[in-house]
C-alpha cells in the first residue's frame, strides 16, 4: 500500500491504517464493496502473510528465525482457539527452525540417494528470459526433471536440437517407470519425426495433432508433477528447439504450486483436456510421415479439376461423422448435421456418402440446394470424394440429368417438376443443404414425398426466428453439431473483431411489415442518395482497416439500388467496388468473386446473394449495411468472413447501427451468436463482451451501446413459447461467451 492514495484501482482490505488515509479523500471518489465469502480465506490469509513478512523484516537477521518461530506458534495457537476444527496447533513450527527439503531412497548398495534440487527453489515463481547472468531455460528444465514424479509436455514444435540436451535426464526419468506424456503438432512441419521416435523409444506417451489447416496448437509448457504437492510448471514462448531453449531471447514463467496453486492446477487441467479431446492422436510413425507429406502436397485445388490428392477429414470432422454413424446404428435414418459456416459441411457430407455407397450397394443420390453456386460447388466436392470426375449431374434451369442416379437439384426445379412425379423410394440417399429452409412449403412437399434409406440435413443455423421448427424431420434431435463459438475456439474458423458503430440514421419512422421487418422500399429511400452516410461508412473503413487497397470486403445491402449506389459512390472515392444481386448473370457473380480473390476488386456489395453456400476464404472485411434482426441471416453473413486462409489472421466486421423501431430485436442476433439469457446479454453489452474466444473482440460505441441496451430491455417475446425460450440459455458452448454465470430473465 503506497503512503499516499492516488486515483486508480485497489484491492485492499480496509484496515485501520487505510481508513485513516481515506479520511483525506473526498467520499464521492471512494468506491468500496463487501468482501465476498468465496474469497474471504484467500484475502485474509494474504493480509496476515504480508503483515508477518513486514514485521519479521524489522528483526535483525540473527534473531529472525527464533522470533519467526515464536510469532508463528502464537498466531497458530490463537487460530486454534478461535477455529479448532482446522487443528492449526499441530502445524506450529519446532525449535530450532528447520525446513524439510527432501526424502531420499536407498540404492542397491544401501546408500541413501536424494533427488537433485532445481536451480530455482521450489517455492518460487519467476520470469526467465535467457538473459546474461541467469541459467538458460534449458538448464532450468533439465534441473527439474530428476525430482519430478511425472512430466507433462505440450509443445508446438519439437526438434532433436532442443531435445538432445535433455535426453539423458528424460531417459533416467522413464527408466524409473515415471510417466512422460507429450503433446505436439504437425503444424508448419517443424516437429521432426526423428525427435518423436527418440521420445517414444524412451517410453514417452506421445500424441499428435494432425490438423494441417490451422495453428491448432501454439502452447509451450512443461508441467513437473511432484507427489509432495510442490509441482512446478514452465509456460512461455520456448519451443523444444536449440534456439528457444538455449540461445533465443525467449520469455518463460516458472510457476510454483506452493506460491500459485490455482495456476498450476489450471495448467494441469487444460493439458488433460487436450489429452482427452480426440484432437491429439497416438503417435504412429507412418501416419506422422504421411501427414507431413500431405501437408507439403496441399496445393491449389481448382473447383472443376479433379485433384490428385484425396480428401482427408480433420479430426473434428471425423468426430462429427462418427456421431452421425452412432445415430444410424441407434436406428435413426434421418440425421441433422449442424456445423458452423466454413467448417466443411459439404466435405463431410461427401465423405459420408462415399462411405455409405460402399455399404448400401445401390446408393442413388439426390442432393438438394436452392442456389446454382451451391450445387456446382457441392458437385465438385463430391467428385473429389468419390474420385470420379464424371460423378453426378445437375438438375436446374434448363439442365436435366440423363440417368437420375446421382442428381444435384435445385429446390425450385424439383418444385416446378412436381416431387410427386418421382418414385418415393427412387433415391437411396437424400442430402439437403441449408436445411433451415426446410420449414418452407416447397421443402415440406419434397420431404413429405421422398422415402430415402438415409436423409442427411446440413445447416449452420437450425434455429428460426419465425418459431417454425425443422427438427421434427429428425425426431426432434440433432445428430452432430459444432457451433460457431466452438469452431472459433478450436481454430476451425478465423477470429473476428466486431465494431457496432452508430451511423445517425433514424429508422423509427420507416414502416414495419409484420413477419418481414422494415419496408424495403422505404428503407432503400432512406439510404440511397445519402452522401454523408456513405462518406461516414468510408471513413469508418479507413479507421478500422489497415489498407483499403489490399482488403477483401463484402458489403450486405438492402436492395439492388442500394448496392449499385454504394458501388458507384465507393468507386468515386477511389475504391474499386462492384455490385451484384440475384438479378446478376452467373458470369457477373463469378467475375465479382474472382476480382475479390485476385485483388482487382476491394469491395463487393451484394443483396441476398452471398449469405449462404459461397466459399470465398479471401474475405477479411464485412460491412453490415442493412438492418436485420434475423439471427440466421446475421450468423450467415458473419460466416462469410470467417473461413480460414493462409496469412489471414482476423476478420474485421463493421455493423452500422441506427435508431430503430421498438419492433427491431437486437437480442435475437446477439443471443444467436453469444448464447445466454437476455439478462446475460445485457450484462455482456454493459461490460464490453469480456468472455469471447481468443482472438475475438466485440465493441459498441457509446451511442450504439445505448441503442442496443434499450432494445434488449424493451424486447418482449411475441408468444409464450418464445418467452419460455427466453428464460433459458440455449445449450451450446457459446453460452460461456456471455458470462460465467446466468440469471433467469
Q: Are 131 and 276 found together in one domain? A: yes
Residue with the bigger pLDDT between 219 and 240: it is: 219
So what's the pLDDT on residue 669? Answer: 87
- For residues 643 and 617, is the Cβ–Cβ distance under 8 A? yes
Segment 275-303 shows an average pLDDT of 73
Q: Are 572 and 595 found together in one domain? A: yes
Determine the number of helices (DSSP H) and then strands (DSSP E) in the chain.
25, 26
Strands 553-556 and 105-106: unpaired
So what's the pLDDT on residue 88? Answer: 87
726 is a domain residue? no
Share of the chain above pLDDT 90, in %: 54
Q: How many CA atoms lie within 13 A of 337 on its CB side?
A: 33
Q: Are 530 and 658 found together in one domain? A: yes
Kindly state the cell numbers that stand for 473. Answer: 424431420
* pLDDT digit string, tens, across residues 155-191: 988 888 788 889 989 999 999 999 999 999 887 677 8
> Of 439, 458, 482, which marks where a domain is finished?
482
So what's the pLDDT on residue 613? Answer: 53
- For residues 96 and 84, is the Cβ–Cβ distance under 8 A? no
* pLDDT digit string, tens, across residues 77-97: 999 899 988 888 888 999 898
Q: Are 520 and 630 found together in one domain? A: yes
- For residues 428 and 452, is the Cβ–Cβ distance under 8 A? yes
So what's the pLDDT on residue 328? Answer: 95
- For residues 190 and 296, is the Cβ–Cβ distance under 8 A? no
The chain-wide mean pLDDT, for the chain, equals 86
Q: How far is CA 272 from CA 260, 278, 368, 385, in A?
A: 19, 11, 42, 34
Please check the confidence at residue 300 and state whether its pLDDT lies above 80.
Answer: no
pLDDT band at residue 360 under the 50/70/90 scheme: confident
Q: Which residue has the cell 464493496?
A: 33
Q: Are 512 and 420 found together in one domain? A: no
382 is a domain residue? yes
Q: Which residue has the cell 479430426?
A: 315
Torsion of CA 658, 662, 664, 669, to 10 degrees: 90
User: Hey, which bits of 66-121 come out as E strands?
Assistant: 105-106, 112-113
| Residue 217 DSSP class | -
677 is a domain residue? no
So what's the pLDDT on residue 527? Answer: 96
Tell me how far apart the alpha carbons of residues 329 and 323 are, in angstroms, rounded to a whole number. 10
pLDDT band at residue 29 under the 50/70/90 scheme: very high
* pLDDT digit string, tens, across residues 140-157: 899 999 999 999 999 988
Please check the confidence at residue 61 and state whether its pLDDT lies above 50.
Answer: yes
Q: Are 360 and 278 found together in one domain? A: no
CB atoms within 10 A of CB 510: 21
Collapse the DSSP code of 308 into the 3-class scheme (helix H, G, I; strand E, B; otherwise coil) and give the result.
coil
Q: Are 75 and 133 found together in one domain? A: no
- For residues 338 and 480, is the Cβ–Cβ distance under 8 A? yes
**Lowest-pLDDT range, 30-39, 166-175, 693-702, 718-727?**
718-727
Q: Is it true that the peptide bond before 96 is cis, omega within 30 degrees of 0?
A: yes
Q: How far is CA 590 from CA 107, 272, 290, 299, 702, in A?
A: 76, 47, 36, 22, 40
Q: With left for phi above 0 and alpha for psi between -120 and 50, is residue 518 left, alpha or beta?
A: beta
- Counting Cβ atoms within 10 Å, is residue 69 exposed (0-12), middle (13-18) or buried (19+)? middle
Q: With left for phi above 0 and alpha for psi between -120 and 50, is residue 692 left, alpha or beta?
A: beta
Residue with the bigger pLDDT between 336 and 185: it is: 336
Q: End-to-end distance of the chain based on CA atoms, in angstroms? A: 41
So what's the pLDDT on residue 469? Answer: 77
Share of the chain above pLDDT 70, in %: 89
Q: Can you give the CATH number for the domain in which 163 is found?
A: 3.30.870.10
* Total domains present in the chain: 4
Sheet-wide strand order for 205-209: 126-128, 252-256, 232-236, 220-225, 150-155, 180-185, 205-209, 280-282
302 is a domain residue? no
Distance from the Cα of residue 124 to its chain's centroid: 33
> Of 482, 500, 523, which marks where a domain is finished?
482
- For residues 545 and 555, is the Cβ–Cβ distance under 8 A? no
Kindly state the cell numbers that stand for 705. Answer: 451501446
Q: Are 182 and 272 found together in one domain? A: yes
Segment 260-267 shows an average pLDDT of 95
Q: Are 157 and 253 found together in one domain? A: yes
So what's the pLDDT on residue 115? Answer: 87
Nearest by Cα to 346 from 393, 404, 385, 310: 385
- For residues 628 and 665, is the Cβ–Cβ distance under 8 A? no
Q: What is the DSSP string of 224-241?
A: EE-TTS--EEEEES--BS
Provide the domain limits for residue 86: 16-91
Q: Are 157 and 40 found together in one domain? A: no
Q: Are 25 and 44 found together in one domain? A: yes
* pLDDT digit string, tens, across residues 538-558: 999 999 998 999 999 999 999
pLDDT band at residue 716 under the 50/70/90 scheme: low
Residue with the bigger pLDDT between 569 and 585: it is: 569
Tell me how far apart the alpha carbons of residues 192 and 158 are, in angstroms, rounded to a whole number. 6
CB atoms within 10 A of CB 420: 11
Distance from the Cα of residue 711 to its chain's centroid: 28
658 is a domain residue? yes
375 is a domain residue? yes
Q: With left for phi above 0 and alpha for psi between -120 and 50, is residue 540 left, alpha or beta?
A: alpha
So what's the pLDDT on residue 736? Answer: 37
115 is a domain residue? no
Tell me how far apart the alpha carbons of residues 46 and 40 are, in angstroms, rounded to a whole number. 10
Q: Can you give the CATH number for the domain in which 427 is found?
A: 3.40.50.300
Residue with the bigger pLDDT between 574 and 289: it is: 574
Q: Considering the entire predicted model, what is its pTM?
A: 0.69
Long-range contacts of 260-264 (CB under 8 A, 24+ apart): 260/125, 263/233, 264/223, 264/231, 264/232, 264/233
725 is a domain residue? no
Segment 263-276 shows an average pLDDT of 94
Strands 553-556 and 603-606: parallel
> Of 91, 111, 143, which marks where a domain is finished?
91
Nearest by Cα to 215 from 551, 517, 647: 647
Strands 112-113 and 105-106: antiparallel
Collapse the DSSP code of 161 into the 3-class scheme (helix H, G, I; strand E, B; otherwise coil) and give the result.
helix
So what's the pLDDT on residue 731? Answer: 34
- For residues 638 and 496, is the Cβ–Cβ distance under 8 A? yes
Q: What is the DSSP string of 615-636?
A: --TT--EEEE-S----HHHHHH
Q: Which residue has the cell 435414418?
A: 333
Q: Are 366 and 453 found together in one domain? A: yes
Amino acid at each position: 500500500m503506497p503512503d499516499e492514495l492516488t486515483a486508480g484501482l485497489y484491492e485492499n482490505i480496509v484496515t485501520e491504517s487505510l481508513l485513516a488515509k481515506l479520511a483525506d479523500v473526498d467520499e464521492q471518489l471512494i468506491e468500496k464493496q463487501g468482501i465476498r465469502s468465496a474469497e474471504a480465506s484467500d484475502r485474509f490469509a494474504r493480509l496476515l502473510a504480508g503483515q508477518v513478512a513486514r514485521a519479521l523484516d524489522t528483526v535483525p537477521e540473527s534473531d529472525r528465525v527464533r522470533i519467526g518461530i515464536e510469532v508463528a506458534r502464537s498466531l497458530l495457537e490463537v487460530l486454534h482457539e478461535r477455529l479448532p476444527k482446522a487443528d492449526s496447533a499441530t502445524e506450529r513450527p519446532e525449535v530450532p527452525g528447520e525446513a524439510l527439503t527432501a526424502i531420499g531412497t536407498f540404492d542397491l548398495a544401501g546408500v541413501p540417494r536424494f533427488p537433485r534440487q532445481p536451480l530455482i527453489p521450489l517455492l518460487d515463481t519467476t520470469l526467465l528470459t535467457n538473459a546474461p547472468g541467469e541459467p538458460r531455460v534449458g538448464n532450468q528444465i533439465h534441473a527439474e526433471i530428476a525430482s519430478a514424479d511425472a512430466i507433462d509436455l505440450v509443445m508446438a514444435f519439437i526438434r532433436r536440437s532442443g531435445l538432445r540436451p535433455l535426453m539423458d535426464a528424460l531417459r533416467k526419468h522413464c527408466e524409473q517407470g515415471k510417466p512422460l506424456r507429450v503433446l505436439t503438432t504437425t503444424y508448419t512441419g517443424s516437429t521432426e519425426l526423428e525427435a518423436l521416435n527418440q521420445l517414444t523409444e524412451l517410453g514417452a506417451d506421445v500424441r499428435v495433432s494432425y490438423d494441417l489447416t490451422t495453428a491448432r496448437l501454439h502452447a509451450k509448457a512443461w508441467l513437473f508433477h511432484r507427489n509432495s504437492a510442490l509441482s512446478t510448471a514452465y509456460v512461455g514462448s520456448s519451443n523444444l528447439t536449440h534456439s528457444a531453449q538455449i540461445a533465443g531471447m525467449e520469455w518463460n514463467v516458472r510457476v510454483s504450486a506452493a506460491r500459485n496453486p490455482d495456476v498450476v492446477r489450471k495448467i494441469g487441467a487444460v493439458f488433460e483436456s487436450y489429452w482427452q479431446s480426440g484432437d491429439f492422436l497416438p503417435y504412429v510413425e507412418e501416419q506422422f510421415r504421411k501427414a507431413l507429406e500431405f501437408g507439403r502436397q496441399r496445393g491449389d485445388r481448382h473447383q472443376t479439376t479433379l485433384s490428385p490428392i484425396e480428401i482427408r477429414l480433420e479430426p473434428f470432422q471425423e468426430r462429427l461423422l462418427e456421431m452421425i454413424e452412432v445415430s444410424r446404428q441407434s436406428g435413426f435414418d434421418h440425421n441433422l448435421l449442424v456445423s458452423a459456416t466454413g467448417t466443411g459441411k459439404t466435405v463431410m457430407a461427401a465423405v459420408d456418402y462415399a462411405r455409405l455407397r460402399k455399404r448400401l450397394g445401390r446408393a442413388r443420390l439426390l442432393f438438394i440446394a436452392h442456389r446454382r453456386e451451391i450445387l456446382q460447388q457441392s458437385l465438385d466436392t463430391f467428385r473429389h470424394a468419390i474420385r470420379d470426375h464424371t460423378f453426378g449431374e445437375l438438375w436446374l434451369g434448363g439442365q436435366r440429368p440423363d440417368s437420375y442416379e446421382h442428381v444435384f437439384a435445385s429446390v425450385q426445379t424439383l418444385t416446378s417438376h412436381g416431387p410427386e412425379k418421382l418414385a418415393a423410394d427412387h433415391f437411396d440417399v437424400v442430402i439437403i443443404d441449408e436445411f433451415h429452409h426446410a420449414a418452407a412449403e416447397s421443402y415440406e412437399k419434397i420431404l413429405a414425398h421422398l422415402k430415402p434409406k438415409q436423409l442427411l440435413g446440413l445447416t449452420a443455423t437450425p434455429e428460426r426466428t419465425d418459431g417454425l421448427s425443422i427438427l421434427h424431420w429428425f425426431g426432434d434431435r440433432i445428430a452432430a453439431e459444432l457451433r460457431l463459438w466452438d469452431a472459433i475456439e478450436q481454430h476451425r474458423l478465423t477470429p473476428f473483431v466486431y465494431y457496432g458503430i452508430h451511423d445517425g440514421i433514424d429508422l423509427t419512422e420507416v414502416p414495419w411489415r409484420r413477419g418481414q421487418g422494415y419496408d424495403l422500399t422505404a428503407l432503400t429511400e432512406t439510404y440511397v442518395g445519402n452522401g454523408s452516410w456513405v462518406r461516414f461508412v468510408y471513413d469508418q473503413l479507413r479507421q478500422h482497416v489497415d489498407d483499403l487497397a489490399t482488403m477483401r470486403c463484402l458489403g450486405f445491402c438492402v436492395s439492388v439500388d442500394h448496392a449499385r449506389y454504394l458501388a458507384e459512390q465507393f468507386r468515386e472515392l477511389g475504391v474499386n467496388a462492384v455490385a451484384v444481386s440475384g438479378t446478376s448473370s452467373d458470369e457477373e457473380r463469378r467475375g465479382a468473386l474472382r476480382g475479390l480473390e485476385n485483388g482487382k476488386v476491394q469491395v463487393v456489395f451484394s443483396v441476398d446473394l452471398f449469405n449462404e453456400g459461397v466459399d470465398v476464404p479471401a474475405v477479411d472485411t464485412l460491412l453490415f449495411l442493412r438492418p436485420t434482426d434475423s439471427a440466421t441471416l446475421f450468423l450467415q453473413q458473419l460466416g462469410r468472413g470467417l473461413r480460414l486462409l493462409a496469412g489471414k489472421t482476423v476478420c474485421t466486421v463493421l455493423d452500422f447501427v441506427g435508431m430503430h423501431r421498438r419492433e427491431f430485436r437486437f437480442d435475437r442476433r446477439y443471443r444467436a451468436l453469444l448464447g445466454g439469457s437476455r439478462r446475460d446479454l445485457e450484462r455482456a453489452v454493459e461490460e464490453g463482451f469480456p468472455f469471447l474466444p481468443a482472438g475475438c473482440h466485440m465493441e459498441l460505441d457509446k451511442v450504439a451501446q445505448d441503442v442496443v441496451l434499450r432494445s434488449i430491455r424493451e424486447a418482449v417475446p411475441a408468444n409464450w413459447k418464445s418467452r419460455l425460450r427466453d428464460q433459458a440459455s440455449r445449450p451450446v458452448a457459446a453460452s460461456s461467451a456471455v458470462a460465467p454465470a446466468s440469471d433467469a430473465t
